[in-house]
Structure 1
């Protein structure tokens, strides 16, 4: 059996090692690494003004505080609407229209929301890749 003094030294050495392991703190890298779905380019959606009454969007904002980036575009004016187009392989450009009252409120504002996909390569609405948007209203 080891003498008491040697046992005491071993215990102190072990405690110091365990305490050191529990107390070590390595500062993390500032900020969180960006995930791909927060990095969709704004250029992935072409904003056009090719039809009668077409004009620039009132707002185009991107929120990256959630799991993936969410982009909201608004069009304002009398009978405001947003024409959305998407492209699927082997199908001509298709789309739909979001009107002022589609959100249940007639307030001269049409809103359209898209979410960045997991790969960060496309903006989606209802799992459909949106490639073009146009804002229009009556003069």
Structure 2
């Protein structure tokens, strides 16, 4: 069964990235204004440092906004072949379901919000924002060792 990230989650992440970028641009603009308006050398030096520190993040923020929709992997749980395939931008990573060491299901008000999967091969995998997370949790529960499944009601981001 294939699992895709929901459009709502993608849209929310993109909005957060845009707001963070606008905040950085606002801080840069304020620092430039301080540089122009201030007569104190200390203020000018501090504003130049702020501009230099924040400007270096703008190219990565632009790439993050531009490539946001394609930055989520597709997860396929194939029970007949006893494996999980995680595909992202043409690359596919496979892991046997027998490598699952523990599963933490994080939920709020009965709705599954994220899954934390500890495996032998990849250490920790986090699945958040996917459609049908409850179904994914049910499939992964089948292959998780007894006593290694935790239902967390406290949601950790």
Do Structure 1 and Structure 2 share a fold, with TM-score over 0.5? no
RCO comparison, higher one (Cα < 8 Å, 6+): 1
Q: Which has the larger radius of gyration?
A: 1
Query: Which structure: greater strand fraction?
Result: 1
Decide which structure has greater helix share: 2
TM-score (norm 1): 0.22
**Normalising to structure 2: TM-score of the pair?**
0.20
